[in-house]
Amino acid sequence: MKLTHEASGTFAIAPTPFFDDGRIDYDSIDRLTDFYAEVGCNGVTVLGILGEAPKLEGNESIDVATRFIKRAKDKQIIVGVSAPGFAQMRTLARASMDAGAAAVMIAPPTHLRTDEQITGYFRQASEAIGSDVPWVLQDYPLTLTVVMTPSVIRKIVMDNPSCVMLKHEDWPGLEKISALRGFQKDGSLRPLSILVGNGGLFLDFEMERGVDGAMTGYAFPDLLVDVVNLSKAGKRDAAHDLFDAHLPLIRYEQQPGVGLAVRKYVLKKRGKIASDAQRKPGSSMSVLARSEVDYLLSRVGRIDKRANIS
């Protein structure tokens, strides 16, 4: 069930669960995958930035991706395949698709600067993985330091028919979304699914700008599902009210360097992973930081009972 430009809804970005000693926790992968399906996610993206992909060996990456794919059954799995070289990218992409993945996701390497370098890189990446592999273009300049204008994104998409989705997480990025949808209206950009990340910080207004859904790793994917569905149903105030209740925790998660630790801590409290450990090198939370997250959860819990976790 390959990904197409019609993809929409909520794709959770999954962390890679580890035991305290750094071994991969495959049972927690199963629990996470089941959880994402239970709360209504349309798919899951694995081995992204949140998935600590650079810390995995090549065979481990294939094993993790395959475990998610096999457990997900009818849910679409997108596998992050970004790598320093195209040989690694191709190996993981082909192995993932052979296992039943819906698509792969490619982020630009941080050294790209000019428009020509950016468009040339993605043309070569698309050729490397094969024209039969649908892929997602990740646009995350805050972390990757590569700035792609709407016109550059349009050229990448038009030059590479197998690019079916944009993962948009620029900030500020609302006008970029409007520009891309404008290109589609004037016929200069073919149909393209746009899902948004960046921790969900601007999901409320991004939905109103015309995106198709969310793809991020907030520890309450059920909240993302609800906001997407409420927005699509035209229930603007209800979507904003629920989103606003979670916004302080979403903001706290977005702190550079600590966000993954917060997400894993909350997912552990929710019983979805056995340990909040990261594979080294990784960040950790102080006792005070944990108490702050617990306080935020209690405040969210006044509006959304799903946050009432001990």
- Cite the annotated binding site by residue number: 215
Which three-class secondary structure state does DSSP give residue 188?
coil
Strand, coil or helix: 145: coil
Which letter does DSSP use for residue 199 in this model? Answer: G
Query: Using an 8 Å Cβ cutoff, are 151 and 119 in contact?
Result: no
Task: Write down the residue that tokens 């349009």 correspond to.
Answer: 154
Beta bridge partners of 136: 105, 165
Q: Which of 169, 167, 194 is nearest to 180 (CA)?
A: 194
Find, among 102, 92, 97, the residue nearest to 53 by Cα.
92
User: How many Cβ atoms from other residues are within 10 Å of residue 188's Cβ?
Assistant: 11
Binding-site entries for pyruvate: 215
Q: Going by C-beta distance under 8 Å and a sequence separation of 6 or more, which residues neighbour residue 30?
A: 67, 71
SS3 of residue 24 by DSSP: strand
Strands (DSSP E) found in the chain: 9-13, 43-46, 76-80, 103-106, 135-139, 163-168, 193-196, 213-216
Type of residue numbered 223 = L
Distance between CA 60 and CA 26 in Å, rounded? 11
* Amino acid type, 236: R
CA distances from 197 to 32, 72, 268, 283, 291 (A): 19, 21, 22, 21, 26
Going by C-beta distance under 8 Å and a sequence separation of 6 or more, which residues neighbour residue 118?
Answer: 108, 112, 146, 148, 152, 156
